[in-house]
Amino acid sequence: MSAQSQLQEILRKGRIEAVRDSIGRLTRRPEMGSFLGLVIVYVIFAIFGGRVFLGSAGWSSWLNMAAEVGIIALPVGLLMIAGLLDISVGAILPASSLTVAIISGHYEFPAYFGIAGGLAVGVIVGFINGLLVTRTKIPSLIITIGTMFGVMGLTLGFTILIAGSTGVFIVPDTVTKSLLGVALGGMFQIGIFWWVGFVIVIYYLLHLNPWGNWVFALGGDRDSARDAGIPTRKLIMQLYMLSGFAAAFVGVTQVVTFGSAQVAAGSSFIFNSIMCAVIGGVTLTGGAGSVIGIVFGTITFAIVNQGIFFSGFDPNFGSIIIGALLLTAVLSNDKFRALALSYAARKK
């Protein structure tokens, strides 16, 4: 064998090795499982949902839903990566909606005033959550259940006290409406673009910024993270304020879109946001997950929820599919994670 062909042989082997390596790396990425789930679910509903599901009616219905849940699922996912939970988002959403409706609808102050108030409610509740989580040893699940009940009670009490009913109306001005509550082509809510914005910002924060490493470190081992000089208390406060802000933001877009705010809205977001994150490969044990994964998880969740109406199945089948997806996601995450953790580059 000549030296020439020997060299080529080595190069060829190297290329195969490289390809095999990159496939291996892909399967070890946290979002791989959620991407597969997304593809499978989309294909299934494309088969049963037909042309309507594949057309703009189908796309708009699941995109609209994905945007609403997705904006909340992102920071909730970050919290879960850090090993924490936030149940109170389900109460913050209607609290913010009603704040906007009461300030700008009932009292007829300018819209930006009401919106600022609504967002402030979210940030304040997040601040309180963060304070309680960092200053006590009580698990975040219990703390945020407590603040959820508290905020729900305050919202209901004050709404009845001020407006005298459980629903408050608002007629947003055209600028506000076009920024936060317009549907493009009568179908695609503007919230979808806000969701994209949230994804970009949070992607930058988590994956391209030292701040993101801190979040992962916090979820991996809180004590070591603090010993390594990470300001864990400040970080937890920021995470809770972020999730409060996001929930309040969705509340604001809802009240502007529908022109009214209801006390009872929002509780479905509690488990939905957690499910999106879990389907997206985030583990509650902390330290694992990615923004792209959460986005995939959210889209999968929304496709199942909305696609079921196009498929002709009994809509309740949707819950069974989501339950099954959730368990599969959880089990495969367990596998993928074990693979990634046990992986060691082969010795040459």
Partner 1 sequence: MELIGNFLRRPAAASILSLIGVVAFYVIFGRVNLVNLAAAASWINFAANLGIVAIPVGLLMIAGEMDISIGAMIPAGSITTAIISGHYGLPIEVGMLGALALGVLVGLVNGLLTVRTTVPSLIITLGTLVGMQGIVLSAAMLLTGNASVPLRAPEWAKFLFGQLLNNTHQVIILWWIALTAVFAFVLHKTRYGNWIFALGGDKVSARNAGIPTTRLTIVLFVLSATAASFVGMCQAILFNSAQVSGGMGYIFNVISSVVVGGVLLTGGFGSVMGIFVGTLTFAIVIQGIYFTHIDRNWSNLIIGVTLLVAMAMNGSFRSMALSYAPKKK
| 88 neighbors 266 (Cβ within 8 angstroms) | no
Looking at beta carbons only, is 142 or 184 nearer to partner 1? 142
| 260 neighbors 169 (Cβ within 8 angstroms) | yes
Q: Residue with structure tokens 């989309």?
A: 42
β-bridge mates for residue 189, sequence order: 183
User: Cβ of residue 275: shortest distance to partner 1, in angstroms?
Assistant: 7
Q: Taking CB under 8 A as the criterion, which residues in 83-112 touch partner 1?
A: 85, 87
How many angstroms separate the Cα of 142 from the Cα of each of 14, 57, 137, 149, 327? Answer: 54, 40, 11, 11, 24
| 257 neighbors 180 (Cβ within 8 angstroms) | yes
| 237 neighbors 131 (Cβ within 8 angstroms) | yes
193 is a contact residue toward partner 1 (CB under 8 A): no
331 is a contact residue toward partner 1 (CB under 8 A): yes
Pick one of 14, 55, 110, 153: the residue that binds partner 1 (CB under 8 A): 153
Pick one of 36, 116, 179, 326: the residue that binds partner 1 (CB under 8 A): 326
Closest C-alpha to 254, from 301, 166, 160, 190: 190
Distance (Å, whole) CA 134 – CA 130: 6
Count of Cβ atoms closer than 10 Å to residue 148 Cβ: 22
What are the φ/ψ torsions at residue 169 (nearest 5 degrees)?
Answer: -100, 155
Distance (Å, whole) CA 263 – CA 157: 10
- Site size toward partner 1 (CB under 8 A) is 49
Q: Residue with structure tokens 């304070």?
A: 131
Pick one of 207, 320, 339, 343: the residue that binds partner 1 (CB under 8 A): 320
154 is a contact residue toward partner 1 (CB under 8 A): yes
323 is a contact residue toward partner 1 (CB under 8 A): yes
Looking at beta carbons only, is 10 or 324 nearer to partner 1? 324
User: Cβ of residue 186: shortest distance to partner 1, in angstroms?
Assistant: 31
333 is a contact residue toward partner 1 (CB under 8 A): yes
Interacting stretch for partner 1, rule CB under 8 A, among 26-34, 176-184, 198-206, 314-322?
314-322
Distance (Å, whole) CA 345 – CA 341: 11
Distance (Å, whole) CA 321 – CA 105: 40
User: Cβ of residue 190: shortest distance to partner 1, in angstroms?
Assistant: 29
Amino acid in position 166: T
19 is a contact residue toward partner 1 (CB under 8 A): no
Looking at beta carbons only, is 24 or 157 nearer to partner 1? 157
346 is a contact residue toward partner 1 (CB under 8 A): no
Pick one of 146, 167, 220, 287: the residue that binds partner 1 (CB under 8 A): 146
Looking at beta carbons only, is 66 or 192 nearer to partner 1? 66
231 is a contact residue toward partner 1 (CB under 8 A): no
x/- track of binding to partner 1 for residues 248-287 (CB under 8 A): -------------------x---x--xx--x----xxx--
Q: What is the DSSP letter of 164?
A: S
Contact set with partner 1 (CB under 8 A): 85, 87, 132, 136-139, 141-143, 145-154, 156-157, 160-161, 267, 271, 274-275, 278, 283-285, 314, 316-324, 326-327, 330-331, 333-334, 337
